[in-house]
Amino acid sequence: MRIAQVSPLFESVPPKLYGGTERVVHFLTEALIDLGHEVTLFASGDSQTRAELVACAPAALRLDETCKDQLARHVNMFESVFARANEFDVLHFHTDYLHFPLARRQPVAHVTTMHGRMDIPDYVPLFGTFAETPLVSISDAQREPLPDANWIGTVYHGLPADLYRPCLGRGKYLAVVGRVSPEKRMDRAVEIARRVGMPLKVAAKIDDKDRDYYESEIKPLFADPLVEFVGEIGESEKNDFLGNAAAFLFPIDWPEPFGLVMIEAMACGTPVVAFRCGSIPEVMRDGVSGYVVDSLDAAVAATKRAVALPRDRVRAYFDRRFLAPRMARDYVTIYQELAASARLRQGRGRTAFGLAAIDADGDTDGAHAVEGLGGEAGVGMD
């Protein structure tokens, strides 16, 4: 298939440092190429890919001090995408909802993966207006605030098998990775470490909007001698950081859509202790990948148990459920159904009296296939 991947421009593909969505776009793009598909990537010019790269900004916008209006760069990117739309069998967007008005006005199959939280009141009228727009969720839990949106599949994230090597020795510290923000609850991680009596290493970015929160609420906690704040880390540093940890803490307090860093830890063989929010029960397997908890007391007890879990079983669980080729195959199933439906619609537009046209394979069932997915893409990975 001829596939366009449209990435946000905030980070490169893959990101130099923090950037979950762009990391997933990279893994998906490369896995699709491995499957023999022709992929064009619309992304920042400092991206690294085997796909045809269409540079829609010179460099990642978050690191580009000359960029004063990030939205303007994205609007310009969408013009580039839709100017070439007829070259593709499917357009795959990872850019939230910005492209919705343009996507509905062209005939090429398109799909949008929603990577963020959906429990935002303003989304209700927006997704009602664009009710026909095909959407993919990254967990079933992500859909819950907008159950009537046009969800055509759930596809869990996947990583390349060789991205991280499993570290099977016992680690000496607890680890946490993410942003320093209220919903990430770094304060919980510090308290767990204190009560367990183990060192805590924190690899995190601090956005400008969270700077005051960090200075007033979190920085004093990081003064504890048990805590080492290492700052933002890149891909090359993650394997050692996560793999040498005794356990990975995910003490979130928000409806997590997926939690990519959890499967990164699992790929290193490191058990995860995560609070029960959003997708966590879908991604985790109690007693295998780590533990799902509902309170601070439970997290302390679970951390003590998690450090003794067999790390080879943690990695094996990751291999069964969260590899990039599986992710790519799930998306290809969705692409094929959408492309078949688009061909049928275009055929009906050319056929007198509204009779259904038959595509080149003689198939007239494609129009219903996308509806039939109904969230089943990505299942059967247990």
Tell me the domain boundaries of the chain. Answer: 2-160+325-373, 173-321
Tell me which of 376 and 182 has the higher pLDDT: 182
Judged against a pLDDT cut of 90, whether residue 323 lies above it is answered with: yes
Please give the DSSP secondary-structure letter assigned to residue 142.
G
pLDDT tens digits for 112-152?
A: 999 999 999 999 999 999 999 999 999 999 999 999 999 99
Determine the pLDDT at residue 361.
35
pLDDT tens digits for 229-283?
A: 998 887 888 999 999 999 999 999 999 999 999 999 999 999 999 999 999 999 9
Instruction: Report the C-alpha gap between 225 and 216 in whole angstroms.
Output: 18
Residues 318-322 have a mean pLDDT of 98
Determine the pLDDT at residue 351.
45
Give yes or no on whether 2-160+325-373 and 173-321 have one common fold: yes
Instruction: Report the C-alpha gap between 160 and 283 in whole angstroms.
Output: 17
Residues 56-65 have a mean pLDDT of 88
Tell me which of 377 and 199 has the higher pLDDT: 199
The CA-CA-CA angle for residues 154, 159, 165, to 5°, reads: 150
The count of residues in the chain is 382
CATH of span 2-160+325-373 = 3.40.50.2000
pLDDT tens digits for 290-301?
A: 999 999 999 999
Is the bond preceding residue 101 a cis peptide, omega within 30 degrees? no
Superfamily of domain 173-321: Glycogen Phosphorylase B; (3.40.50.2000)
What pTM was estimated for this model as a whole? 0.87
By the 8 A CB rule, do 326 and 27 touch? no
pLDDT tens digits for 72-86?
A: 999 999 999 999 999
Residue 18: pLDDT band with limits 50, 70, 90: low
Give the count of beta carbons closer than 10 Å to the beta carbon of residue 198: 19
